[in-house]
Structure 1
Amino acid sequence: MDQEKIGAFIREIRKEKGLTQEQFAEKLGVSQRSVSRWETGKTMPDYSLLPGICEALEINVAELLGAERIEGDSVPKSRVNDAARSLLALVNDRKRRRKLIGAVVSVIVTIACAAALYCHEFHIRVDSTADLERAIEDYHTDRLYGTVSADELERRAVGRHLYVLYTDRDFPGSSGLACLEKGLFGTYRFLWYTESDDRWINRYIVTEGKKRYCITFCVNDFPELDSYGICRVKDGATDFTEENTMLLFRAAYDGAPFLTFTEIPDDAVLSPVVRYYRNDTEIDRDALPAILGERQVKGASNRSAFTAELWLLYVWEGIVILLGVMMTRYFLSDVVSGRKKKN
């Protein structure tokens, strides 16, 4: 079935009948542009319009689909069969086109929905200090964890995570450590934070890949210190008393604020005890307040919070992709089967 030949035939008969494109279009209830596209071979009329076209042009379907006049009063059976096959092919071809369009639309909608979900989850930009401070403050507010006036002091990227040391402007000397996860498009989502009213050196344990780290951080400067030590519990010990701890590692103190990562053994159980050194000598714990100052910041936050529903993103992404695959397969099944029949 030659689309251009049929279009030229429609144009020829229309002119024979003395019809303009506009008059012909009115009879069929379509636009003049549609008629023009048929006659130039750009598109085919919808199969539902074929009876109306035949009536307006005073021809039969066999003549229309054959794109030529049939002499005589009767139409040969072979021509009728050919016309029927052409009409059926036209209908099936249109159905396959619509199915193919449906499959393409399904793929586009699936990708768009999956991307929108992902970008909604990973929406935090960290290009500037203000962006990061706002993200920390919004996380507190959105989850009803109170309020904080964050002041970013240090940041450190480890793997796909960004660790941020901050203090609360309303409680100078307090410290907070936040962790954000980097997404595929360079933006982040919030994972957790921990805040402390302890003015002295704090520590936190994290795992990155197959490595385990002790993060040490502090926002206050202690000029008399030259180093500090992190302790672990001795093997077999059942409590964290001073006698049951031993030095795990010692690090130089170069002033604050600081945020450092030290790799530690997987089996190390850390003690809350932090040792402080001056002139290469450990400072007696009773003397620490006089050297480091008061330990606690009154009224400051001393809590931790984390995002528990991180997995929800991947559940919704899976549902969207599954529905998209099902819809695409539904549309493509007829297209593929139709092509096999043609071959």
Structure 2
Amino acid sequence: MQAVMIERPGGPEVLRIVEQPRPRPKAGEVLIRVAAAGVNRPDVQQRRGLYPPPPNASEILGLDVAGIIDDVGEGVDGQYVGNPVCALVNGGGYAEFCAVPAVQCMPIPNGLSFIEGASLPEVFFTAWNNLIWLARLEHGETLLIHGGTSGVGMAGIQIARHLRGATVFATAGTEEKRAVCEAIGAQAAVDYRGAWDEGIRALTGGEGVDVILDGQAGANTQRQLDLLKYDGRLVFIASHQGSTAEVNIRTLVRRRLTITGSTLRPRPPAYKGRLARELVDHVWPLFEDGRITTRIHKVVPFTEVQEAHHILDENQQIGKVVLAVDPALAATVPSSGKRF
């Protein structure tokens, strides 16, 4: 099969399409013939040498795919062969075939294409894991999402708005991006440059917010803690602006604040399988009735994978960039698949 490999750490030019052995599904796994693969920020970090794959994970890039089950491993019912699915994978998505634990597969929501299906797993798994499980976002709380037009940001805004009735604020760098945040459910969005914290404080009447979801960290950490209400939660999904920060522990203790974070990729299949079931139960119906949507910034041919990474490097995207691995299949809308 053809797959994308990293020649050496660096820019998009280090990505190469090479011949690789087709994987064989292990016990509990399925083999997916990939129609489309999502392009995500962790892929960029791995390409740069900043995010090595965990032990036993594929070195091939790609964390989410959509396609058709081509084969199954021991312990997986053969009835699933031919089933259209989207899946969170542990690496290996930028390839014509990808092996993945069966429990991490989900039916593509009715009415969505393989391209749209490939845009869902990584960002919705991440948003649900961090907002619902770790941050314990409650009904009616107030949430700030940094990077509101990232894939995770857009997923988080919609989950919080439609499933928790939260008041959501976001940050974004352009007027167009801020307008998109508001169109999908944010009450307001502010420019992340400058006094964004004062902007959010003004919008909340000086009260601040209950939960903040952030991927930057670094020097902004204390500003975020100062913006939280009593019992507030700050959740990190990355640390692009710095891996360390100086914080006021006395304030943290006095105001009962929580700082937490997560990396989903090393988690075992059972953990990801529980996430998959909750998404299918609670989020997929909202795709099917139109209350939640996915936004595709650009579909890039598999052979032009370097261009897909250029888009993320330049932070051009609003929503997801998707690789069309099998262009003829990727744009089609599959019939309903069986649920695992």
Specify if TM > 0.5.
Answer: no
TM-score, normalised relative to structure 2: 0.20
Which structure has the bigger radius of gyration? 1
- In proportion to residue count, which structure has more helix? 1
TM-score by length of 1: 0.20
